[in-house]
Amino acid sequence: MTARKKTVFSGMSFDVHCGRSVGTTARPSMSGDVHSGLSLIRPLSIVVALVGALAACTNYYEIPIETPIQPKLDIAGFQRVLVAGFVAGGDDEVDANLETVRLLRSQLRQKGSLRVVEAEPLVLNEIAAQQNGGPAPPASPSDTASTQETGLPPIKEEKDLEPYERIFSKVDYWKKIGEEHQNPLIVTGSVLFRPHTTSGFVQREQEIYDQFGRRRVVPQRVYMERQGYILRPTFVFIDGKTGETLHSETFREEILYNQNTQTPALSSFFELMDRLLPTFLNAMSAQKIRGTRVLLK
């Protein structure tokens, strides 16, 4: 029986086999210059023996583990999931509602256990405005009327979301949506994706060459103006049978680039969403977090 043992020696990592097959040190090929080969073998074998001896004294083993994290929601009572639509705003370049619906449906189709309901995404900005006493929503859900026409302020910042987010507590509305789609688990919420600019000192690494041409990397504080985006989604999980909210969670992610970097808004949107997807999926299914631990003798 062989056990794989790992030991750290002067900052280097060696893998050593211990157990019955200890004497399995690789022998160098005898072809070529036998003498120089033998003269190399001796110091090499001493080093190997030393490392072996050290390994025998070292009583730890690195081992990969996977920690299962249980889902936050019990979805046993559901067979379908409807990603209904999102209250969205912040940036005109990206339709955060449509993009979020598409992304989450695609993820749930690939990684979820529930059947994903294919339905036209709801334009919740208008529906929320209508429920707030504004004019009726447009006949077609894809008809994106300006929020200014609907009685609620346009969504530019986090505080603008508040009057829209009241829609998530309208139990009758969500119950009705649930009935239309055979009582699925409803995923909705709000997505604020907005540009962000900041300035200040940042630490950068700079290459420096001395008089002998030797390269050194030194940290340097530089004043910089940077621009990027903030993504602030709230995912709300609603029981389609009752219209009640089962679970809700809010995230905030931001990304900043140098001012001369041109990154498309949609690309930044997906980059930020990508960071949140594992946690979003963990609401409905168990996830495994991979890591390494050290076993001790």
Partner 1 sequence: MFVRIISAVVLCLVLGAPSAFADQRDEAREQVEFGIQVAQRGLWREAIYRWERATQLDPTYAAAYNNLAIAYEHEGQLDKARAAYEKAVSLDPNSEMIRQNFDLFKEINDRAKKDGL
296 forms part of the interface with partner 1 (CB under 8 A): yes
- Given the complex with partner 1, which of 59 and 267 has the nearer CB atom? 59
**Residue of 122, 60, 58, 140 whose CA lies nearest to 85:** 122
Residue from 4, 176, 221, 252 that binds partner 1 (CB under 8 A)?
A: 4
279 forms part of the interface with partner 1 (CB under 8 A): yes
* Residues of this chain, 249-278, that bind partner 1 according to CB under 8 A: 249
Rounded CA gap, 125 and 131, in Å?
Answer: 10
- Given the complex with partner 1, which of 109 and 288 has the nearer CB atom? 288
Of 66-74, 77-85, 177-185, 257-265, which part binds partner 1 (CB under 8 A)? Answer: 66-74
At 29, list the tokens.
């090929």
Q: How far are the Cα atoms of 73, 116, 163, 229 from residue 168, in angstroms, in the given order?
A: 18, 20, 11, 26
Residue from 247, 254, 270, 271 that binds partner 1 (CB under 8 A)?
A: 247
Rounded CA gap, 266 and 194, in Å?
Answer: 11
Q: How far are the Cα atoms of 81, 123, 247, 287 from residue 76, in angstroms, in the given order?
A: 12, 29, 15, 16
Residue from 39, 67, 220, 258 that binds partner 1 (CB under 8 A)?
A: 67
- H helices then E strands: how many in the chain? 6, 10
Beta pairing, strands 253-258 & 215-239: antiparallel
Of 59-67, 132-140, 155-163, 190-198, which part binds partner 1 (CB under 8 A)? Answer: 59-67
CA 179, 185, 188, 189 torsion-angle sign: positive
- Given the complex with partner 1, which of 136 and 289 has the nearer CB atom? 289
Q: Where are the beta strands (DSSP E) in 171-214?
A: 185-209
Residue from 10, 29, 31, 70 that binds partner 1 (CB under 8 A)?
A: 70
Rounded CA gap, 14 and 9, in Å?
Answer: 7
Residue from 38, 50, 69, 136 that binds partner 1 (CB under 8 A)?
A: 69
Residue 4 C-beta: closest distance to partner 1, Å:
7
286, 68 in Cβ contact below 8 A? yes
3-state secondary structure of 184: coil
Residue 261 C-beta: closest distance to partner 1, Å:
31
65 forms part of the interface with partner 1 (CB under 8 A): yes
10 forms part of the interface with partner 1 (CB under 8 A): no
Of 25-33, 37-45, 167-175, 287-295, which part binds partner 1 (CB under 8 A)? Answer: 287-295
Give residues in contact with partner 1 (CB under 8 A). 1, 3-4, 59-61, 63, 65-70, 72, 247, 249, 279, 282, 289, 291, 293-297
